[in-house]
Amino acid sequence: MALLITDECINCDVCEPECPNSAIYAGEIIYEIDPDKCTECVGHFDEPQCVVVCPVDCIPKDPDHPETEQQLLIKYQALTK
């Protein structure tokens, strides 16, 4: 399951550089996550780095993009080829 950034985001800029897949980008109002690039850091880290550094806890799982750990690993492998 990809992650998403909610409107509680304070645009603190700490999440974007932590994403190993460059899935996080500045949207029109708040940062956003590209679900096609988000692997929840599977393949890179044990937990999503954006969630670890977020000071306001505004990065939950995206219910519109459910994925298993295996699907996230396959996506990671495709992105890192």
Residue 63: what pLDDT? 96
Distance CA 66, CA 63 (A): 6
Q: Which CATH number fits domain 16-79: 3.30.70.20, 3.30.1490.100, 3.40.50.460, 1.10.10.10?
A: 3.30.70.20
Domain ranges of the chain: 16-79
* Tokens (6 digits) for 34: 């590209």
What is the structure's pLDDT at 1?
A: 79
Length of the chain in terms of residues written: 81
**Average pLDDT of each block of 10 consecutive residues along the chain (81 residues)?**
95 97 97 98 97 97 95 96 89
45 CA to centre of own chain: 12
CB-side neighbour CA atoms (13 Å) of 5: 29
